[in-house]
Amino acid sequence: MSIWIDIGALGDLPLRGSRCVNTPVGKIGVFRTADDRVFAIRNECPHKGGPLTEGIVHGHSVTCPLHNWVISLETGAAQGADEGAVETIPVRVEGDRVLLLRAAVDARAAA
């Protein structure tokens, strides 16, 4: 079994946008930035658990829709004065497919 899981086509992911992926270990947000990079982080703001996929994507950051925390997509860390971080998930683009690291989304593999 490949160590990567295919979650869909790059074209399903809007530019400066995001989609949510359901997994047994919780929701993962997959983001595509204006410069066409793809990132994945756990879809829970370190502040109050807000769904980060619903936020506005700008630069390599996303702003949480609940209380405007700005989260770095590269490191998962809260920016500015806020403190906290969300787990980043290894993601890669192969051709036009987007892949997540299986170990990060598979309950059994993660265990």
Query: What mask, x for binding other proteins by CB under 8 A, covers residues 34 to 73?
Result: xx------------xxxx--xxxxxx-x-x-xx-x-x---
Binding residue for other proteins, selected from 17, 38, 77, 82, defined by CB under 8 A: 17
Three-class DSSP labels, the chain: CCCEEEEEEHHHCCCCEEEEEEECCEEEEEEECCCCCEEEEECCCCCCCCCHHHCEEECCEEECCCCCCEEECCCCEECCCCCCECCECCEEEECCEEEEEHHHHCHHHHC
Does 7 help bind other proteins (rule: CB under 8 A)? yes
Binding residue for other proteins, selected from 41, 86, 91, 105, defined by CB under 8 A: 105
